[in-house]
Amino acid sequence: MVTNIAVYHFVEVDSPESLAATLSASARRNGLLGTVLVAPEGLNLFLAGEDDAIADFLRALRMDARFAGLRVKYSRSAAQPFARLKVKVKPEIIAFRRDGASPLAGRAPAVAPRDLARWIAQGRDDDGRRLVLLDTRNREEVGHGSFAGALALPIDNFTDLPEALAPHRPALADATVVSFCTGGVRCEKAALWMRAEGMDNVLQLDGGILGYFEEVGGYGYDGRCFVFDERVALDPELRPLCATMAARENGQA
Catalytic residues: 181
What is the C-alpha separation between 32 and 61, in angstroms, rounded? 14
| Pairing mode, strands 151-152 and 130-135 | parallel
CA 103 to chain centroid, in Å, comes to 14
Cα distances (angstroms) measured from residue 131 to each of 49, 126, 149, 164? 39, 10, 10, 20
What is the C-alpha separation between 131 and 122, in angstroms, rounded? 9
Beta-strand runs (E) in 62-141: 73-77, 85-89, 110-111, 130-135
Got the DSSP string for 147-216?
A: ETT-EE---SSGGGHHHHHGGGHHHHTTEEEEEE-SSSHHHHHHHHHHHHTT-TTEEEETTHHHHHHHHT
Strand partners, 88: 37
Got the DSSP string for 212-250?
A: HHHHT-STTEEE-EE-SSTT-EE-TTS-BHHHHHHHHHT
Instruction: For the chain, give the longest Cα–Cα distance.
Output: 52
